[in-house]
Structure 1
Amino acid sequence: MPYWLMKSEPDVLSAATLQRLHQARWDGVRNYQARNFLRSMQADELFFFYHSSCSRPGIAGIGRIVRTAYPDPSALDPRSPYFDARASTVKNPWSAVDVEFVEAFAGIIDLACLRSAPGLAKLPLLQKGSRLSVMPVEAGEWAAVLALR
């Protein structure tokens, strides 16, 4: 089963908020490669929930895909920060998935910890210039991160 890492700014959606809500829509992805990863996700696949653009970025917990990709409604909402004037109900290039809470880690696993951990040298998150908000995680990398919690 594939594993994933998905980034969100905690003021938009945090692991704690997902825990409180139980389920949420993961939307607003506006990069074609990240969108394609969303489209390849299957129900029950797990992802690391990564907090980005915050005082202490890092992996905060685990979530699960509960609904596969569908047209992202935020692209059609002019009040949304993710609005795309080129999108329509007939042709919406963006996708969303629904996710559920699985586990919150006791603390954030930050970049310094990830960089120093064995088995994570090829983790896409740690590659120079990697800015994708959705990326695959290999099974060995998944196990290496779990060992850090």
Structure 2
Amino acid sequence: MIPSLVYSLLNSSVNFDCLFQIEGAFIQGLGWAAMEELKWGDDNHKWIRPGHLFTRGPCSYKIPSVNDIPLNFKVSLLKGVPNPKAIHSSKAVGEPPFFLASSVLFAIKDAITAARAEEGHLDWFPLDNPATPERIRMACVDSITKKFASVYYRPKLSV
């Protein structure tokens, strides 16, 4: 469940719209935290003109889809918490939930930490945003990834 600090609003239809805004912002943040990687033209991406951004829109990078949304995804609004300083006791709901998706990045980091601990690696490791499947796999460090990179390998950011 994702609690959101949203105060009482005008009526139930507005509340319903707010729930969708909160869900949408969280899913947008999920893409930001785990999927949407910027690819720029440089020595590592020779097929992109130098200095040009390849991933300019959803046709060139992965965005969240229906399969990426949690099955048990519940959003609720706080009741009985007035905000007398806002118009009709309202509260912005578009941007704050976007950052709730950072919980996804931290959960991924915790899962990688557990996988590394099983292999005896208890030291700190970097995990850049977005936590793409490739970055997650290489950060886990096991007998397979050790063949390709050291324990301290850090994938180069493409930004």
Shorter-chain-normalised TM-score: which range?
under 0.3
TM-score, scaled relative to structure 1: 0.25
Higher helix content, 1 or 2: 2
